[in-house]
Amino acid sequence: MKGKRVYPVPQTKLGDFPILQLNPGEYGKDSRTGFWFACPPGFSDSHLVANLSNHTVTEHDDETITVEPSIQVTNTLATWHGFLEKGIWREA
């Protein structure tokens, strides 16, 4: 599945930092921490979000990213394991 890069959006209250809001298949970089986050495709109910701070993230000229090693994210409802390569999601 082709992913989508998103950018932080401003909060409505004055003085709040921009926040990164992710839907399934989206990825982006938090403007406060500089960490990358990603939400694997197909998990709107359980909303899995991976913190990629322990991964190597390579930004490409077309603004897609490649993440190494594979991404595994789990919450109480679901688990996803796979890859994000040049903005394309693929299950392991």
For the segment 6-61, what is each residue's pLDDT rounded down to a tens digit?
998 776 555 555 677 889 999 999 888 889 999 999 876 667 899 999 999 999 99
Check pLDDT > 60 for residue 80. Answer: yes
Q: What are the residue boundaries of the structural domains of the chain, listed by start?
A: 4-91
Q: Which residues contact 40 (CB under 8 A, 6 or more apart)?
A: 24, 25, 48, 50, 71, 73, 80, 82, 89
| Token pair listed for 26 | 């989206």
Report the predicted TM-score, pTM, of the whole model to 2 decimal places: 0.88
| Token pair listed for 89 | 């999601």
- Rg (C-alpha) for the chain, rounded Å, is 13
Candidates 1, 22, 72, 36; CA nearest to 9 is: 22
